[in-house]
Amino acid sequence: MTLNANSIEQLAMWCLKTDAIADVREIAHRDFFGLDEPGEMNYLGEAGSPIIMERRFLGWFTLTFKLPDGRHPAELAASAMLMGSELNSLIDLINNSRYILGVISMVIPGQGLILRLEDEEFSIQSRQLSRLADRNDGLYAHIIPDGRRGWLVGPGWMQWPMSITRSIDLQLKKYQLNPIDVERILQQRRNYLESRTDIEPPHFDIQKAVAHN
């Protein structure tokens, strides 16, 4: 079983539109954006665009959020589309997806890029990112194995709007956050951030948000 960008988008759209998990999706949406939490939201730059916000939610809901039965919504979507060995293969790929902050070490024009996380390297297949990203940019993204030797990006990837210094790059695994923590930083939720002493200070040195999908 192999995946491409269209396959990932089909899984995400099923998760977004199916009535089977509509109630769970609505609650998850409120939780992701912290709509019932205290404090004002003041999104950084383009991060507050409704379309971009919903793409970040969709990536989290599809690949990170867990349903009451312990499955990711993407697994439920896969079960609605496939069966047998292909279904089992796709579920394995979904369960090996990751959400990471990495540094772009190489851009391959028209194809994708190489994303580095300390001693790990990921060959990302994305023509869109090859057009928009630059070497040494930071990238937060859900990445999914494509079933060959490469990786794909899920909805809601984001070029991290903070300069990643050489010293941070060498210990980047210390600076990994989950999608909800990233959202709160983009929202500049003061109460939340002040309560999270475990989040490394460099994540606060942000002036503006840049490209998203």
Q: Which two tokens stand for residue 181?
A: 């923590």
- The DSSP line for 149-193 is S-EEE-TT-EEESS---HHHHHTGGGG---HHHHHHHHHT-HHHH
Distance CA(62)–CA(157), nearest Å, equals: 13
Distance of alpha carbon 210 from alpha carbon 194, whole angstroms: 24
Average pLDDT, the chain: 90
Q: What is the pLDDT of residues 10-51, one digit of tens each?
A: 999 999 999 999 999 999 999 999 999 888 899 988 889 999
Please give the pLDDT value at position 38: 86
Binned at pLDDT 50, 70 and 90, residue 168 comes out as: confident
pLDDT digits (tens, 9 = 90+) for 181-206: 999 989 988 777 677 767 664 444 44
